[in-house]
Amino acid sequence: EFDISFESRKALKAQVLADFVAEMTTSTTSEKNKWTIFVDGSSNSQGSGVGIILENEDGVLIEVSLGLSFPTTNNQAEYEAFLAGLRLAEDMGAEEIRIFTDSQLVASQVSGEYQTKEERLLEYLNLIRAKLAKFKGTEVKHVPREHNARADVLSKLASTRRKKAGNQSLIQETLTKPSIEKTAEVMHICAVDEQSWMSPVYNFLKSNTLPVDAKEAAKIRKRACSYVLLDDKLYRRGFSIPLLKCVEEARVEFILQEIHEGINGQHIGGRC
């Protein structure tokens, strides 16, 4: 004979549900806007340049080779690279960033481990700290140069005066003034007007809205495959990289004028 009694597990369903929610709930919002950044600056007898690599959790990869058309020290070039990376991350709508640099000096000064006595570098540092404060989460890391090889190549590419190739797979621009002399401003020019050419594609990607006409709806579905929304801004996918920011027709003439006059030297992604 066995003395067996039954005791119900009253909290089982509640516990299973709690465990399931805890296990399956992901912080999709933060991951979607989390970017990893590698930066490097180079200054030599041929010129100066910076290299920047950004990648998010979805595998979107952006590479930038930015030439500096003004005299710089190597430390100044490293700071310009750091600032350019922050500006690009801000433009992409990043909320959390991890930024890697192979400059021990820059990493240590930004994190507060080293003091900054040189006045010019202190101006850079103040700009960087103001930019970092805009993000919800930041992490600054020093990495050995061999772990930052691609950004190093991009910085050296920017510092050499080469003819542009026919098919460019990365963003190449030139910065004409030091960032501490004129803080770069990012132009937010992707607000979609109701009459904009972007509206059908934007509305489909944003809310899955399509025209009633079946043929027109099919065209938009097909066309939308070449576009992506990032931080509520519309970008056209390139053959590989970079993503190409879309603008309204009303802004094209203004942007071209700004580019030709040299005012908007920091507006990377100027192709549309």
Residue 83, pLDDT score = 93
CB within 8 A of 175, min separation 6: which ones?
Answer: 66, 67, 68, 69, 70, 80, 84, 265, 266
On whether both 49 and 125 belong to a single domain, the answer is yes
Give the other-Cβ count within 10 Å of 106's Cβ.
26
Residue 38, pLDDT score = 92
| Cβ pair 168, 268 in contact under 8 A | no
On whether both 129 and 88 belong to a single domain, the answer is yes
On whether both 46 and 152 belong to a single domain, the answer is yes
pTM (2 d.p.):
0.55
Give the C-alpha separation, 255 to 245, whole Å.
12
| Cβ pair 99, 86 in contact under 8 A | yes
Residue 155, pLDDT score = 67
Residue 106, pLDDT score = 93
Range of the domain at 214: 199-261
On whether both 44 and 138 belong to a single domain, the answer is yes
Per-residue CA distances from 100 to 66, 97, 142, 207 (Å)? 17, 10, 6, 36
On whether both 110 and 35 belong to a single domain, the answer is yes
Residue 37, pLDDT score = 92
Q: How many domains does the chain have?
A: 2
Nearest to 124 by CA among 109, 139, 113, 134: 109
Buried b (16+ CB within 10 A) or exposed e, 49-73: bbbbbbebeeebebbbbbbbeeebe
Torsion 206-192-265-253 (CA) sign: positive
On whether both 166 and 110 belong to a single domain, the answer is yes
Residue 77, pLDDT score = 92
Residue 179, pLDDT score = 86
Give the other-Cβ count within 10 Å of 22's Cβ.
8
- Binned average pLDDT, 10 residues per bin, the chain of 272 residues: 53 45 46 82 83 85 85 91 91 90 92 89 92 93 81 63 44 81 46 65 86 88 82 71 71 63 46 42
| Cβ pair 178, 76 in contact under 8 A | yes
Assign residue 154 the CATH number of its domain.
3.30.420.10
The partner residues of 56 in beta bridges, in order of sequence, read: 35
On whether both 131 and 59 belong to a single domain, the answer is yes
Domain boundary, last residue among 123, 141, 175: 175
Give a yes or no: residue 21 inside a domain.
Answer: no
On whether both 40 and 164 belong to a single domain, the answer is yes
On whether both 35 and 163 belong to a single domain, the answer is yes
Q: Which three-class secondary structure state does DSSP give residue 233? A: strand
